[in-house]
Structure 1
C-alpha cells in the first residue's frame, strides 16, 4: 500500500483545513494533511531496531536513501498494544527538518474542517498533557482529536531519537 499526498495551500486557507484521519484503539485522530508525505503499509522486516531509544520508537527504516525513525503512536499515547495487521500503516511525515514515520491502526480519509468545527482542546490539569493537541474537530456525529504532529514529533524525546540515529 503506497499513497502520496499533495495539497493546495491556497485552497486550504480560504475554505478550511484538511486533516488526514487515522485511528488508534477505535478513536479517530486528525493531523494536518500538509505534513503528510505518503502512507505505506507497515512491514516489520524493513524496520531496524536501535538500542537506547525510547520504547515508542520501533526503529528506523531506509526510505529511498533517507533514514526515517518509526514511532508507534499507540505506545506514544499510552494505549494498549495490538498485533499489527494488514490495516496497520506508517504515515510518513515531512516535518521542518526531518522525516518521521508514525505507525497507526489505519487511515480512513481526509476531511476538510472549517474553523467553526474546531473546538479548543479541553484542559485536564496536570494529570494529562494537552500541549500536543490542536483541538477537537466535529463533523456531524464524528469527533476527531486534532494532533499538532509538528510539536509532538519535535519534542525533547524525539531529539534523543535523532541523536541515537545520527
Structure 2
C-alpha cells in the first residue's frame, strides 16, 4: 500500500453497493452518460470509446476489474473522466460510475492497508480502505488496475489507436 501522509482529496463514487474514492487531482470532469461506440473483440474492461470534447477516450468499467455484476445504466450513472499514467504515458480515460457523490478529504489516520485475506477483490487492486462517518471507502490502485487490465485487453491506448486508424 502507498502510505498516506496527508489527507487524500477524493471524489467518492458508488460501484455496485460499494463506496469508492479516487484521487480528485486525477479527475478532469464528470459527464452524464454519453453515446458509447463499442469496440469489437475488446475486453469487457475497456469495451467502448466515447467522445470527450472531440477527443476519443476509452471507457472503462472498474466493476469488471473488481468482479462485480454489471448493471443497466440509470439516471444516476456518470462517467468520471480521469487522467492517469498507462505504460508510462499520460492518458485520459473514462470510468463508469453507478453514482458520483462528492469531493471529500480522507485523513491518513482513517486509511488502513487492505487486508490480504477476507477481501472479495484482488488486494493488489486496492491501495487502502478508508473510513468516513462509519462507512468503509475502497481506494483503488488506479495505476495498477490499468496496468494489469490494460495488458489483458490490449491497453486502452491500443483501443484508441485502433479506432483512429
Distance apart, 1:158 and its partner CA: 5.6
2:13 aligned residue: 22
Task: Work out whether residues 57 and 70 of structure 1, in 8 Å CA contact, stay in contact via their aligned partners in 2.
Answer: yes
Deviation readout 1:10-65 (Å, 9 max, x if unpaired)? xxx9961111100012210111111111100112xx21111121012231012123
Q: Say which of 44, 47, 51 aligns to 2:40.
A: 51
Q: Does 1:149 align with 2:142?
A: yes
Structure 2 residue aligned with 1:112 = 105
- Cα deviation for residue 132 of structure 1 reads 1.8
- Using the alignment, how far apart are the partners of 1:134 and 1:145 within structure 2? 8
Structure 1: give runs of 5+ residues left out of the alignment: 1-12
Q: Distance between the aligned counterparts of 2:112 and 2:158, measured in 1?
A: 36
**1:81 aligned to 70, 88, 91, which one?**
70
Structure 1 CA distance, aligned partners of 2:125 and 2:17?
20
Query: Residues 142 and 165 from structure 1, CA distance in 2 versus in 1: closer, same or farther, beyond 3 angstroms?
Result: same
3-state DSSP of counterpart to 2:152 = helix
Total equivalences in the alignment = 152
Question: What TM-score do the two structures reach when normalised by structure 1?
Answer: 0.82
Structure 1 CA distance for aligned equivalents of residues 69 and 77 of structure 2:
15
The answer to whether 1:34 aligns with 2:25 is: yes
1:163 aligns with 2:151: no
Cα RMSD after superposing both structures = 2.3
Unaligned runs of 5+ in 2: none
Deviation >6 Å, runs of 4+:
none
- Aligned equivalents of 1:66 and 1:158: distance in 2? 21
Structure 1 residue 111: Cα displacement: 1.6
TM-score with structure 2 setting the length: 0.82
